[in-house]
Structure 1
Amino acid sequence: MGAIIPVFPLGTVLFPGLVLPLHIFEERYRTLVRDLVATTDDEPHEFGVVTLRYGWEVATGEDDTGRTADEAPITPEQLYAVGCTAELRQVTELPDGRFDVVTVGRRRFRVVAIGADTHPYLTAEVEWLPDEESGDPVSALLAPRVLTAFRTYLDLLRPDSEVLDQVPDDPTVLSHLVAATAQLTTEERQELLGAPDTATRLRTELRLLNREAGLLAKVRAVPVPLSDLARPVSPN
């Protein structure tokens, strides 16, 4: 049996090492934050972030049990299979019980099954995806090419961008930064998150960045589907 972890469905894709600030207002996720804060220092103060498939995060109304969309249980088909844990780094409780938290992506996982309904918040059985080796020679060769393509892409997209003021030396860290920063579709980000290794992710990014830069140079536009652009920012 895999590990059982609390899971937070969001409309965004989290990558290891990337910062994710959240405003927590739903009561079930307030409970999640309180439970995590109450754990000992020996336990990881982390929860899983999984991305909701388009359409589910904007569902409204009641289901056939009379529950609202916020109260209705999440089903596996509503979620992408691969997620990333978010480790609590800063927690600020507001006077009305809401929380502002700062988290950092930590480790990737694959959802095996949605957990039994024993908590007010979602839990899932997950299997951890292997840690990626930093010393892979193929990744070391690909990283400079991806960095060059990323610089070209950013110069076309945002000439005043400060994203690469400090360039990570580690190819895996670079691959996650590119995946989180480039204006890609959710499907493409999920493909990158679920890549089996850094070299595969860098190869995919090189292809995507060259495509994006070519289109930007011609039409000054990024080919993101209108459905993705219309997605609301997750307030939680």
Structure 2
Amino acid sequence: MTTARLPLFPLNAVLFPGLVLPLNVFEERYRAMMRELLKTDEDEPRRFAVVAIRDGHETARTGTGMPDALNGPAERGPAEGFGADPARTFHEVGCIADAAKIRERPDGTFEVLATGTTRIRLLSVETGGPFLTAEVEELSEESGEEAGALAEGVLRAFRAYQKRLAGASERSLTTGAELPDDPAVVSYLVAAAAVLGVPAKQRLLQAPDTASRLREELTLLRSETAVIRHLPSLPAVDLTRAPTHLN
């Protein structure tokens, strides 16, 4: 079991391995986190843990690292807004992010571009420092039975789903696109690209193996495609624009 203590960045979203995460960081506790990460040599990974916030929990007003347009950033202690037991505020399974780009702006805010790398399980959360940190356990990705065949089925279902979403614009989504062969990569790509809410995406992230994730995706894609098929009065482009969670 590989464990590590990493800076913790909670989001109202789910990050998957291999997916890019752009962040606009302005709140002081996350700015402090980025300043700390910048101390790491450029040749070394600048890692932090990303976890999704559970529905129904009170969170810091700018806890996602995105600007609050009405009131601006507020200065708070690192654990304020996350309750007496911060670990219960977050989903147990998250993802390590590697910040390939951290750029500090003249006003002290940061532009960050990170990539998900490895799934992790949250073991504990520490609130005593300038930003949240967590003890995490890295999770291996098991293939499961028939992952290859399931991946082929999921890709077919995903193309049909894209076609329903895009309508006449299907060509721009699928034609010429290089699709992955690795079942685990397929499972993460489809989970990230599908228009699903945080609870559904979280279930996919924490699936026990690739085959289980692909099976659930196949069910979700078929269900979502059927729903879209019965909504002819709603332009497909509106479906793709509708927010599924607050970032």
Q: Provide the TM-score with structure 2 as the length reference.
A: 0.80
User: How many residues are treated as equivalent by the alignment?
Assistant: 219
Gaps in structure 1 of 5+ consecutive residues: 61-66, 223-227
Provide the residue aligned with 2:219 in structure 1: 207
Residue 54 of structure 1, CA deviation = 2.8
Distance change >3 Å, CA 216–CA 70, structure 1 → 2: farther
Measured in 1, the distance between the counterparts of 2:81 and 2:136 equals: 18
Asked whether 1:110 is paired with 2:117, we answer no
Measured in 1, the distance between the counterparts of 2:151 and 2:81 equals: 41
Residue 57 of structure 1, CA deviation = 6.2
- Please give the secondary structure, in 1, of the residue aligned with 2:6: strand
Measured in 2, the distance between the counterparts of 1:27 and 1:13 equals: 22
Measured in 2, the distance between the counterparts of 1:27 and 1:69 equals: 9
Measured in 2, the distance between the counterparts of 1:114 and 1:158 equals: 42
The one-letter code sitting in structure 1 at the alignment partner of 2:31 is: R
Measured in 2, the distance between the counterparts of 1:18 and 1:230 equals: 18
Counterpart contact for 2:146–2:211, Cα < 8 Å: yes
Distance change >3 Å, CA 94–CA 116, structure 1 → 2: closer
Provide the residue aligned with 1:125 in structure 2: 135
Residue 55 of structure 1, CA deviation = 4.2
Task: Calculate the aligned-residue CA RMSD, in Å.
Answer: 2.6
Gaps in structure 2 of 5+ consecutive residues: 62-74, 237-241
List aligned pairs for 1:141-220, cutoff 5 A.
141-159=149-167, 160=169, 162-164=172-174, 165-220=177-232
Map Cα deviations across residues 155-203 of structure 1 (whole Å, 9 max, x no partner): 0012325454221121111110110111112111111100111111101
Asked whether 1:78 is paired with 2:89, we answer yes
Measured in 2, the distance between the counterparts of 1:115 and 1:59 equals: 16
- Please give the secondary structure, in 2, of the residue aligned with 1:39: coil
Measured in 2, the distance between the counterparts of 1:92 and 1:185 equals: 30
Map Cα deviations across residues 58-90 of structure 1 (whole Å, 9 max, x no partner): 665xxxxxx969760631221111100110111
Residue 229 of structure 1, CA deviation = 4.5
Measured in 2, the distance between the counterparts of 1:70 and 1:115 equals: 10
Distance change >3 Å, CA 180–CA 57, structure 1 → 2: farther
- Please give the secondary structure, in 1, of the residue aligned with 2:146: helix
Q: Provide the TM-score with structure 1 as the length reference.
A: 0.83
Measured in 1, the distance between the counterparts of 2:130 and 2:78 equals: 12
Map Cα deviations across residues 138-165 of structure 1 (whole Å, 9 max, x no partner): 1111111100000001100123254542
Measured in 2, the distance between the counterparts of 1:231 and 1:132 equals: 29
Measured in 2, the distance between the counterparts of 1:23 and 1:229 equals: 18
Provide the residue aligned with 2:69 in structure 1: none
